[in-house]
Homo-oligomer: A and B are copies of this chain.
Amino acid sequence: MTRPSLDDFHAIVPAGGSGTRLWPLSRQSRPKFLLDLLGGGRTLLQQTWDRLEPLVGPDRVHVVTGISHTGGVREQLPDLTHLVVEPSPRDSMPAIALAAAIIAEREPEAIVGSFAADHVVEDEIVFAAAVAEAVAAARTGLLVTIGITPASPSTAFGYIEGGDVLGLAGAPTAHAVRRFVEKPDLATAQEYVASGDFSWNAGMFVVRASVLLDHLARLQPTLHDGVREIAASWHTPGRDEVLARIWPSLTKIAIDHAIAEPVSLEGGMAVVPGTFGWDDIGDFAALADVGATSTDGTIFVDADGLVISADGTTVAVVGLKDVVVAHTADAVLVTTREHSQRVKEVSVALQELGRADLR
């Protein structure tokens, strides 16, 4: 893979979220991104590294994660140079903004792109081409998102409505963004997909670091000032003190709400279509859809579905269709594909039962 046009590009990987709908495989202490959910030998975080590192090199991948996961991240990514450790979770905007501000300290004109640590991409070549277009579009000063061409009228994702083709150099497929919309109902999702104008919001944002920070200065000025102050101290002995002092005061907000939605309404956003096959594996139904298969030795008698036995215990299912069983050494989930989204409610029940240790 050549990368002549990406020399100023840095990848930011927010590695957060525990994935409560994939419990008990995922836990607060063992979040989704640290798991090899597809059984291919690489965790979701490692797969994210595997598709970004060839584009930017190991020195321009920046992982942002919580303090309790730094050990897991370092272990899984031995070649990682830049690890930003959040003292506490403040959602995606502070995480991405701090990484961008740290990069901008040394390379003010750098382009940054954010890519979640726990998503799945099928075709890395097509992914790389979309990133290259997004970087080209971002060089014009736009906030660029890679919007996933919908594979179905999913109600699990937010959507991005595209407008006219922008005709940008190096980004022939980039369209203007009309608006972001929240997760729709099924009828609305069907309209969106039928229109051909909508893509899924996968949280992939590509933008010049200085542009991102300028937007932030306008829209979330205290958050901007906070991350700038932390970034200024980043390569000094005062880093820990400044981080500990300022981080807890940063506004807890997602990048979509803080920047993407308002900037899209101002006409400052572009969307590059992503046709590389993508999923955020939000639940067990999605995990089955991206090709996860039942553990060897699972017994189905007049039954089918997805049985993952992470600890190798033999599971037999009799007479249930579309079952989902996730087995670990200390906890077991039994549900069906249809109820996959409700698995997050187990976390609440565990709390009520005084078994927060299993969350």
Contacts and interface: CB of A to CB of B under 8 A. Distances in A.
Interface stretch (A28-36, A243-251, A296-304): A296-304
Contact of A323 (B299, B334, B342): B334
Contacts of A23: 316
A292 interface: no
Interface in A318-357: 318-320, 323, 325, 327, 329-336, 338-339, 342-343, 345-346, 349-350, 353, 355
A68 interface: no
Contacts of A299: 346, 349-350, 353
Nearest to A340: B318
A329 B299 CA distance: 16
Nearest to A309: B332
A318 B332 contact: no
A269 B329 CA distance: 55
A309 to B, nearest CB: 8
Interface-central residue, A299, A334, A335, A349, by most chain B CB under 10 Å? A334
A330 B358 CA distance: 20
Majority secondary structure, A binding face = mixed
Contacts of A313: 329-332
Interface residues of A, number: 36
B346 A334 contact: no
A318 B335 contact: yes
Interface of A: 23-24, 297, 299, 301-302, 313-320, 323, 325, 327, 329-336, 338-339, 342-343, 345-346, 349-350, 353, 355, 358
27 contacts: A24-B316, A299-B349, A299-B350, A301-B345, A301-B346, A313-B329, A313-B331, A314-B330, A314-B355, A315-B331, A316-B333, A316-B334, A316-B346, A316-B349, A317-B333, A317-B335, A318-B345, A318-B346, A319-B335, A319-B338, A319-B342, A320-B339, A323-B334, A325-B332, A325-B334, A327-B332, A332-B332
Given A299-B350, A299-B353, A319-B342, 14 more contacts: A299-B346, A299-B349, A301-B342, A302-B342, A313-B329, A314-B358, A315-B331, A315-B333, A316-B332, A316-B333, A316-B350, A318-B343, A320-B320, A320-B339
